[in-house]
Structure 1
Amino acid sequence: MPDRIPLMVNVRERSVTCVGGGKVAAKRIPILVEGGAIVTIISPTLHENILSLLPEVVWEKRKLTQAETFTSDILFISTDDSLLNDELIAKAAKGQWIYAAHDAKKSDFHFPAVLEEPPVSLSIYTGGAYPAYLPKIKSILSKALHEANVHNELKILAEVRQMVLNHPSLSKEQRTELLRACATDAFLQHPEKDQLLMRWIHEKSV
């Protein structure tokens, strides 16, 4: 059984304490900020890529004292002091999510590679097997999405979904059945999709 499951997480208004302001923080913290997290960074120095986020993030320009503990929703640990990192993990608050840059096994979550092909967003994770292979996987998936005409089909289905969900004569079960039927090749590749959908709706609603 895997010890990680894929999730899409809403971090809006979640508090984040980031200990360390180097390269790892510069790579990951902007993602949390973009997601609406409230970020405080504790570090005597700050990577130039994070400086551009000020004052959107709070920077406490100082060293961390070993006695400190934090109650934020997320504790982001990215210092180069492994002993300090492990002490922070040991003193983590109950229910606090930990990201430990120095040891992936001690993290509660990871940042997967992301392929953005709007409206599709795909997360890719190799389980640490070989991260440098991720760009090739992204290229393969991007090509497959375009070859399968996914973007155009989703555009069609978005319109279909609104029509089905807003139809007053259909029950919840009937809407579900229609939406599933419309997601098949039989519908998407039909030369007269609009007429076919209207016929299906009529048959369900009579």
Structure 2
Amino acid sequence: MSTNYPIMLRLKGKKIVAVGGGKVAERKVKGLLGTGALVSVVSPELTSELTRLVGNGDIIWKQKSFSPEDIQEAFLIFVATSDEGVNQFVRSVAKDHQLVMIADDPEGSDFHVPAQVQRGRLSITVSTGGSSPILAGKIREQLERQFDEKYSEYLEFLFSKRQWILKEVKDSSLKKKLLTAIVSEEFLKSENKEEDFQHLLWFLGKNT
């Protein structure tokens, strides 16, 4: 059995097409919001939420049945209509370089979207390889409780301090100690991370 290859994609400016306007397509489209992707939905009708996103200018709606030219320049294609024949037709006309996900045919898809926990810069994904999306969802719920909203602020702190340390600290030993120390329970729970970092910098610098 071949395994899937996990990857995080930068989609800013990429053209993404969702074929279908129901609840499944809605979930896929909502997962793309905030990525900077250029999202189009091809469907005669839309859910109320997708209609709202069109009204907000978040996505483009092609109010029509699918035709091959709709995916001509697409980077990713999400196929989620209620008609298996249409879904397979989209698959058949996609080019070899285009990645296609078919909601009702995981084995015939090039990729699938894992269950995801997002806390600012922190992304945690869970996949069961298409065997049980329900189990993946349950595991995601456990992770959401474990990695709560405080991780958003903590990741911003880690990002900014890592950039500063790499740029300003020349001593390789001190650099490693600082990078290791800030990834700790104490800094995660700290009410004043900046002050604690300055104390750490003084202490380690003094003893290096």
Please report the TM-score for the alignment, with normalisation by the length of structure 1: 0.74
Once the two structures are TM-superposed, the CA of residue 52 in structure 1 deviates from its matched residue by 0.4
Counterpart of 2:52 in structure 1 is 52
Specify whether residues 67 and 83 from structure 1 end up closer, same or farther in structure 2 by C-alpha distance, changes over 3 A only. farther
Once the two structures are TM-superposed, the CA of residue 131 in structure 1 deviates from its matched residue by 2.2
> Counterparts of 1:1-206 in structure 2 under 5 Å?
2-55=2-55, 56=57, 57-65=59-67, 70-145=72-147, 157=158, 160-167=161-168, 170=170, 173-174=172-173, 177-182=176-181, 195-201=199-205
Specify whether residues 198 and 36 from structure 1 end up closer, same or farther in structure 2 by C-alpha distance, changes over 3 A only. same
Q: Which AA in structure 2 matches 1:182?
A: A
Unaligned runs of 5+ in 1: none
Structure with higher Rg: it is 1
SS at match of 1:54: helix
Contact 2:120 2:151 in 1 (8 A): no
Instruction: Write out per-residue CA displacement over residues 130-156 of structure 1, whole angstroms, 9 at most, x where no aligned residue.
Output: 32233432343344446xx97787576
Q: In 2, Cα distance between the equivalents of 1:68 and 1:141?
A: 38
Once the two structures are TM-superposed, the CA of residue 182 in structure 1 deviates from its matched residue by 2.2
Specify whether residues 7 and 196 from structure 1 end up closer, same or farther in structure 2 by C-alpha distance, changes over 3 A only. same
Once the two structures are TM-superposed, the CA of residue 170 in structure 1 deviates from its matched residue by 0.1
Unaligned runs of 5+ in 2: 189-195
Q: Which AA in structure 1 matches 2:165?
A: V
Q: Which AA in structure 1 matches 2:45?
A: T
Contact 2:77 2:101 in 1 (8 A): yes
Percent identity between matched residues is 25
Contact 2:174 2:204 in 1 (8 A): no
Report how many residues are paired: 198
Q: Which AA in structure 1 matches 2:202?
A: M
Specify whether residues 31 and 156 from structure 1 end up closer, same or farther in structure 2 by C-alpha distance, changes over 3 A only. closer
Q: In 2, Cα distance between the equivalents of 1:142 and 1:69?
A: 35
